[in-house]
Amino acid sequence: MIYTVTEAISKLKKYCAYQERSQFEVKQKLRQHSILGDEANFVISELISENFLNEERYARAYARGKFNIKRWGKKKIVSGLRQKGVSETCIRMGLTEIPESKYQAVLQAEVEKLIDGSESAIEKQKALRKLMAKGFETPLILRYIKGIDADYFCK
């Protein structure tokens, strides 16, 4: 279905009011409805001026949600925000939503859950790989996994 610019603005206000959206997501939605070029830029500028679209607010909500709900590490959150076309400045602002003490506590809890008291080097290596895949930084993970050869992973 093809919308006029006025209809698109109305529809996208609802789309953005439902949950935080990035400009990238709004541009995709506009493309789906064949609104391109200057018209798309006009719609986005209207949404920004009426505060339906705000990259910093989006980055903060994204970082907070992915950390609190999915327990992602900072590296994976940053990667996700970059995929959404969020600026580096907004990414840094978004990461301020994650308190360092809570970040450390979540990482420690994840390590304990994965290792579960095991002294096996294989189990520790599996835990390290899983936590790296979740976006936690290798030096931080190694701090909580005791008895593993750090040089093995830092080659």
Q: What is the pLDDT of residues 78-137, one digit of tens each?
A: 999 999 999 999 999 999 999 999 999 999 999 999 988 778 888 899 999 999 999 999
Identity (one letter) of the amino acid at 22? S
Q: How many CB atoms lie within 10 A of CB 93?
A: 17
**pLDDT in the model for residue 148:** 56
**pLDDT in the model for residue 150:** 53
The whole-number average pLDDT for the span 61-76 is: 97
pTM comes to 0.87
Tokens at 78, concatenated? 């940053």
CA nearest 64: which of 44, 38, 94? Answer: 94
**pLDDT in the model for residue 116:** 84
> Cα separation of 114 and 111, whole Å?
5
Domain 5-49's class? mainly alpha
- Residue 34 per-residue DSSP state: T
> Cα separation of 9 and 3, whole Å?
9
Per-residue pLDDT of 23-50, as tens digits, reads: 999 999 999 988 889 999 999 999 999 9
**pLDDT in the model for residue 147:** 58
